[in-house]
Amino acid sequence: MTRTIPEDDRIALNALADGELDTATASTLVARLAADADLQQAYDTIVATRDALGGLELPVVPLEFLARIENLATPSPADSPLLRPRHYRWEGWRNIAASVLVTALIASSATYLFTSPRGPSLEQMVASAHRRSLLAANPVDVLSSDRHTVKPWLDQHLGVSPPAPDLAAAGYPLLGGRVEVLGQQALPTLVYRHNEHTISVVAQPGSTTTAAPRSLASGGYNMVEWSIAGFDFTAASDLEPAELATFVAAYLKAAG
Amino acid sequence: MDSTRSAELFRQIVLPHLRDALALARWLAGNQSDAEDIVQESCVRALKSVDGYAGGSARAWLLAIVRNTAFTWLARHRSASLVMVGDLGDIDDVSRDADTAAEPQPTPESELIRRADQRALATAIATLSLPLREVVVLRDISGFSYKEIAAVLNLPIGTVMSRLSRGRHQVATEIRRADA
């Protein structure tokens, strides 16, 4: 039989579990915990409850709902930041970047709407996205050469992530990842570097076929498209076509 | 301030926190579709008053609006369920807590709670009165600090701490009860 823990102690234990106690109070309480099994048990229960509740997922914001909310601020039909004219004022960049990130954050898991693009083709959108990323302060949302950071980050934000091998040994270090919103889709994007060039690899989930790399050019960038492992990939860079093809070969080899 | 500026502020301040807004509204209202109505109504209010946003935590500012909108909405649509909340004066009266009696526990309670599934947790949260529930949701699901919660709810931190303690305790008790 354990004794009842006084409410004041219970409140202090909760605050301790949340890191909301000042150091002196915390260390006094920790000392008491060590000497009092009942208190320790109450603390364990609080931590377990906090952890269990913390494991509950935040709701996904449906894209349709987001569109409704965005419309509150802009009652005109041209809502998608990507469909606005390309000649943005500079102070608009911050908002656009925020808007793109927001859309990506909340468009997690299973809300990929495959709309046949009536406007710009995927290549054109990837080229625009690549250009934007070069103009932004940082071409990545998560900066890391560690694929063990990039992949979980994309997973967490989109519920899906492509293979993200680090190709540093082949001369293409992984710079990080970001989320691109192209049309209605939030797409995981890997960013590699080669010498002074940046390579964006946009992965569109849902591919059921495998397709060999195909070179093309759009929007002033060289591109390669291919499909493997459930994704349609598009790589964009200002690298020469042959160099970009070499990168894609290295990626394919590493991604297995 | 013109409407373009308001719209820009709205995008910067409101849109990043829609997920937390929906989470709070959903746990207060109990379902997604009512939560979306509440958040949409909140966003309309937020857009109107965004010019007056004075800095500080944008998230706390928005969630305060969501919270107040939710209560108005619930009073309008579900006045019956609000009765369950009881008198706010009672809520913080610790002596009313009927469930402080400890019981023998063959399994450590913390183990039991760690094994609880999402449904058991959701059921336990639903048993909380709204004043306890909102504190638990803001703290444990959305990860707000005590100070942020105090700002959202316009309460002293001491009250936040007390309600959180009681809310978590009740969740733990409900899980233990459900498992018995």
Measure CB to CB from residue A14 to each of B104, B125, B161 and give the nearest one: B161
User: B5 and B80, same structural domain?
Assistant: yes
Flag whether pLDDT at B33 surpasses 80: yes
Q: How many domains, chain B?
A: 2
Which residue in this structure is represented by tokens 């990039």? A150
Flag whether pLDDT at B86 surpasses 80: no
Q: What is the pLDDT of residue A17?
A: 94
Measure CB to CB from residue B102 to each of A2, A15, A55 and give the nearest one: A2
Contact A177, A189 (CB under 8 A): yes
pLDDT band at A85 (very low <50, low <70, confident <90, very high): very low
Contact across the interface for B102 and A58, Cβ inside 8 Å: no
Flag whether pLDDT at A96 surpasses 70: no
Strands (E), A183-256: 185-194, 197-205, 211-218, 221-228, 231-237
Measure CB to CB from residue B16 to each of A44, A45, A98 and give the nearest one: A98
Contact across the interface for A70 and B11, Cβ inside 8 Å: yes
Q: How far is B14 from chain A (nearest CA, A)?
A: 10
Contact across the interface for A105 and B171, Cβ inside 8 Å: no
Q: How far is A129 from chain B (nearest CA, A)?
A: 20
**Interatomic CA distance for residues B21 and B152, integer angstroms:** 12
User: B123 and B74, same structural domain?
Assistant: no
Contact across the interface for A58 and B142, Cβ inside 8 Å: yes
Q: What is the CATH number of the domain that holds B74?
A: 1.10.1740.10
Mean pLDDT (chain B, rounded) = 83
User: B40 and B76, same structural domain?
Assistant: yes
Residue A181: phi and psi, rounded to 5, are -105, 105
Q: pTM score, two decimals?
A: 0.56
Flag whether pLDDT at A16 surpasses 90: yes
Q: What is the pLDDT of residue A2?
A: 66
Neighbours of A122 (CB within 10 A): 19
User: B165 and B109, same structural domain?
Assistant: yes
Q: What's the one-letter identity of residue A60?
A: V
Nearest CA in chain B to A10: B165
Give pLDDT tens digits for B115-168.
Answer: 888 889 999 999 999 999 999 999 999 999 999 999 999 999 999 999 999 999
User: B76 and B109, same structural domain?
Assistant: no
Q: What is the pLDDT of residue B84?
A: 45
User: B114 and B80, same structural domain?
Assistant: no
CA angle B118, B119, B125 (to 5 degrees): 90
Flag whether pLDDT at A97 surpasses 60: no
User: B36 and B76, same structural domain?
Assistant: yes
**Interatomic CA distance for residues A197 and A239, integer angstroms:** 7
Q: How far is B23 from chain A (nearest CA, A)?
A: 6
Write out the two tokens for A141: 């949302």
Contact across the interface for B113 and A48, Cβ inside 8 Å: yes
Flag whether pLDDT at A141 surpasses 60: yes
User: B68 and B36, same structural domain?
Assistant: yes
Q: Give the contacts of A204 (CB within 8 A, at least 6 positions apart).
A: A122, A185, A187, A231, A232, A233, A234
Q: How far is A15 from chain B (nearest CA, A)?
A: 7
Q: Which residue has the higher pLDDT, A27 or A101?
A: A27
User: B111 and B77, same structural domain?
Assistant: no
Mean pLDDT (chain A, rounded) = 78
Nearest CA in chain A to B48: A73
Neighbours of B77 (CB within 10 A): 14
Give pLDDT tens digits for A157-211.
Answer: 777 788 888 888 888 988 888 888 777 777 888 999 888 888 999 998 877 778 8
Q: Which residue has the higher pLDDT, B73 or B97?
A: B73
Residues A11-17 have a mean pLDDT of: 95
Residues B53-78 have a mean pLDDT of: 88
Q: How far is A179 from chain B (nearest CA, A)?
A: 15
Among A27-41, A192-206, B46-60, top mean pLDDT goes to A27-41
DSSP 8-state code for residue B138:
I
Q: What is the CATH number of the domain that holds B173?
A: 1.10.10.10
Residue A124: phi and psi, rounded to 5, are -65, -40
Q: Which residues of B touch A55 (CB under 8 A)?
A: 118, 121
User: B113 and B66, same structural domain?
Assistant: no
Contact across the interface for B141 and A58, Cβ inside 8 Å: yes
Contact across the interface for A69 and B22, Cβ inside 8 Å: no
As for the ipTM of the complex, it is 0.84
Q: What is the pLDDT of residue A100?
A: 52
Q: Which domain holds residue B73?
A: 1-84
Q: What's the one-letter identity of residue A39?
A: L
Residues A148/A154/A55/B33 CA torsion (nearest 10 deg): -170
Give pLDDT tens digits for A217-247.
Answer: 887 889 999 988 788 899 999 888 889 999 9
Q: Which of A241, A104, A256, A56 is nearest to A165 (CA)?
A: A256
- Indicate the residue among B19, B54, B84 that finishes a domain: B84
Flag whether pLDDT at A110 surpasses 50: no
Flag whether pLDDT at A11 surpasses 90: yes
DSSP 8-state code for residue A213:
E
Q: What is the pLDDT of residue B156?
A: 95
Write out the two tokens for A85: 């004219």
Q: Could you give the C-alpha distances from B164 to A96, A171, B25, B41, in angstroms and in order?
A: 38, 53, 18, 27
* A23 touches B: beta carbon within 8 Å: no
* A41 touches B: beta carbon within 8 Å: yes
Q: Which of A8, A22, A40, A69 to mutate to test the interface with B (most CBs of B within 10 A)?
A: A69
Q: What is the pLDDT of residue A138?
A: 64
Flag whether pLDDT at B87 surpasses 60: no
User: B109 and B59, same structural domain?
Assistant: no
Cα A57 from chain centroid? 17
pLDDT band at A79 (very low <50, low <70, confident <90, very high): very low
